[in-house]
Chains A and B, each alone.
Chain A
C-alpha cells in the first residue's frame, strides 16, 4: 500500500513557493509572455518582424522604454491623483520614446529607417501602458525595474521567434548586421534552398499567418498539458477510491475475525 501511495502523487497539492526576484523576472518570459499569452503589442509584432534584426532592434527599444517608464512611474505614483493617471503615464512613456527615437536616429540610422513609424508608436504599445498601470503603479521601484526587464525580454524573445521563422521562410537565410550598428555583416544561416523563398512571409499576410501558427502551437501544448494534468488527477482519484475500498474490506474482515 505504501508503495502505491508513492506511485501516484497528489496533483492537488501545490508547491508553496515564495515569489522571488527571479520568479518576478521569469514570469514575463514564459507564463505571462506579453505576445503569446496576453496578446499585447501585436502591432509591432506583426509589422517589424519580417527580419530577425528588426525584431531584435524593436525588442531592445521596448526593453529600454518599459524599464525606464516602469521605474519613473513607480517613483512618482504617489504624487499623481487617480483621475489624471493615464495622461500622466502617457507623458512619461512618450518622453522615453522620444529619447529612444532620437538616439536610434543618431547611432543606428538604418534601424531607424527600417522601423520607421513604429518607433513613435511604442507610446501606444499596450504592453507598456499595461505594465505601468497594472504593476508599476502598485509596486516599489526595484520590483518594477525587474518586472520591466522581464516583460521586455519576453517581448523581445517572442519577436525574435517570429522574426527568425519569417525571415527563413521568406529568404531561406538569416543575415545579421544590416540594420544594427555592428561593424560586420554575417549570414548566420544560409540554407541555399530556393523552395523556401515564400515571398508572402515578407509581407503583412505572412505576419498574421505566422503569429496564428505559433498561437495554435502554444495552444496545442497547453491543451496537452491540461489533458495530462486531468489524467493524473483522475488516476489519483481512482487510487484513493481503491484504497478506501480496500480499507473497508479489511475492516470488514477484521470485524468478522473478531466476532469469530
Chain B
C-alpha cells in the first residue's frame, strides 16, 4: 500500500465528501457554535480529537469483537456507547493533564456525544468497506486517516463559516432574514462551491 492511498483518503474526505456540506453530518454544531471564530476553532479541535480516536476504536471493536461473535447488528448501540464513554474519558484525561486545554475544549466535549458527525464517520468507515479493500489491519489505518481528513474538513468549513458569520453580523440584512436564515443560505452557496471540487480525485 502506497502513500497515495492515504493522500487520496484525506483529500476525498476533507474536500470532496465534506462532512458538513456534502454529507450533512454535524450540522447542529455547524450552525450552533459558529457565531465566533474562537469557539469554532475550539469545537473543531475537540471534534478532531474525538473523531480520530473514536474511528480507531470503533473500527477495532467492529472487526475484532462484533464480527467474530456475529452480533454486528448491535453496532449502533455499541458505537454510541463507545463514543459516549470515550468523550467522558477524554474529558477526565484533559482535566487532569492540562488545565489550559480543558478550559478551551471543556465546554464543547459534552456536546460532542450528540454530534452526528462522529457516529456518522464511524459508521461510514464500516460501510465504506476499507477492510475488504485493503485487508482488516491496513484498512484500520486508511479508516483512521480518512477520519482525520473528515475532521480537517469539518474544521475548515467551521472556520470559513464562522468568519463569514462575523461579517454577516455587521451587514444590513432584511429583518426577516436576520440571523439563521441568511446563514443557511450562505451555507447553501458554500455547498455549491464545494460541489465544484467533485472531480479532483
Specify whether A and B are partners: yes
Query: Which A residues have a C-beta under 8 Å from some C-beta of B?
Result: 39-40, 42-44, 46-47, 86-87, 90-91, 94-95, 97-98, 101-102, 116-117, 120-121, 123-126, 129, 200, 203-209, 211-213, 215-217, 219-220, 223
CB < 8 Å A-B pair total: 124
What would 11 more interface pairs be, CB under 8 Å, given A39-B180, A213-B185?
A: A43-B24, A90-B113, A120-B75, A121-B119, A204-B24, A208-B188, A209-B185, A213-B181, A215-B184, A219-B177, A223-B175
CB of A230, distance to nearest CB on chain B (Å): 14
CB of A151, distance to nearest CB on chain B (Å): 16
Chain A CB within 8 A of B192 CB: yes
Chain B residues with Cβ below 8 Å from A213 are 181, 185
What is the bound-complex CA distance between A217 and B28, given in angstroms? 21
For B78, the closest partner residue in chain A by CB is A94
CB of B26, distance to nearest CB on chain A (Å): 7
19 A-B residue pairings within 8 Å (CB atoms): A42-B27, A43-B28, A46-B27, A47-B23, A47-B24, A94-B77, A98-B77, A117-B127, A121-B119, A121-B123, A124-B80, A124-B113, A124-B119, A204-B188, A208-B188, A212-B183, A212-B188, A219-B175, A220-B176
Chain B residues with Cβ below 8 Å from A91 are 77, 80-81
CB of A97, distance to nearest CB on chain B (Å): 6
- Interface SS majority for chain B: helix
CB of B107, distance to nearest CB on chain A (Å): 16
For A93, the closest partner residue in chain B by CB is B80
CB of A121, distance to nearest CB on chain B (Å): 5
CB of A215, distance to nearest CB on chain B (Å): 4
Chain A CB within 8 A of B138 CB: no
Query: Which B residues have a C-beta under 8 Å from some C-beta of A?
Result: 21-28, 31, 73-77, 80-81, 84-85, 113-116, 119-120, 123-124, 127, 175-185, 187-189, 191-192, 195
Q: Are A117 and B120 in contact (CB under 8 A)?
A: yes
Q: Are B187 and A208 in contact (CB under 8 A)?
A: yes
Q: Select which of A42, A44, A123 is within 8 A of B76 by beta carbon.
A: A123
Q: Are B25 and A43 in contact (CB under 8 A)?
A: yes
Q: Are A43 and B26 in contact (CB under 8 A)?
A: yes
Chain B residues with Cβ below 8 Å from A102 are 73
Chain A residues with Cβ below 8 Å from B120 are 117, 121
CB of A43, distance to nearest CB on chain B (Å): 5
Q: Are B176 and A204 in contact (CB under 8 A)?
A: no
Give the residue among B31, B77, B81, B188 with the most A Cβ atoms within 10 A.
B188
For A221, the closest partner residue in chain B by CB is B176
CB of B79, distance to nearest CB on chain A (Å): 8
What is the bound-complex CA distance between A100 and B183, given in angstroms? 34
What is the bound-complex CA distance between A216 and B175, given in angstroms? 9
Q: Are B192 and A124 in contact (CB under 8 A)?
A: no
